[in-house]
Amino acid sequence: MDIPFLPLLLALVFGVGLVAGVYAVLLWSKLSRVEGKMDSLRTNCEHHHQDNEARFISRLEHDLEHQGLWEAIHHHEHDFRGRVRR
């Protein structure tokens, strides 16, 4: 069985395989760098999260602070002129 274009076909398959291999290596390199950047981003986010916990008030303190305001808004009466009586 003699195929006239066999050397050309083999060269084409070899070339496509070579290009695919180079592409795979470049893609692996790019993904490795992205993975490093994602690790760095996660570390920075954890660091800032810990800093923000110390810097801002907690949810419990926030709720206690606004509980009096909530009661003043929803549990009050008005006099005949429309002024608020507590």
Same domain, 39 and 80: no
Same domain, 13 and 36: yes
Contact 61, 67 (CB under 8 A): no
Contact 65, 59 (CB under 8 A): no
Same domain, 21 and 41: yes
Q: What tens digit of pLDDT does each residue of 17-72 get?
A: 999 999 999 999 999 999 999 999 999 999 988 888 777 766 666 666 677 777 77
- Using CA atoms, how far apart are residues 17 and 67, in angstroms rounded to an integer? 69
Same domain, 49 and 62: no
More confident residue, 77 or 39: 39
* 3-state SS class at 49: helix
Domain that holds residue 42: 1-55
Tokens 């690790």 — which residue?
Answer: 39
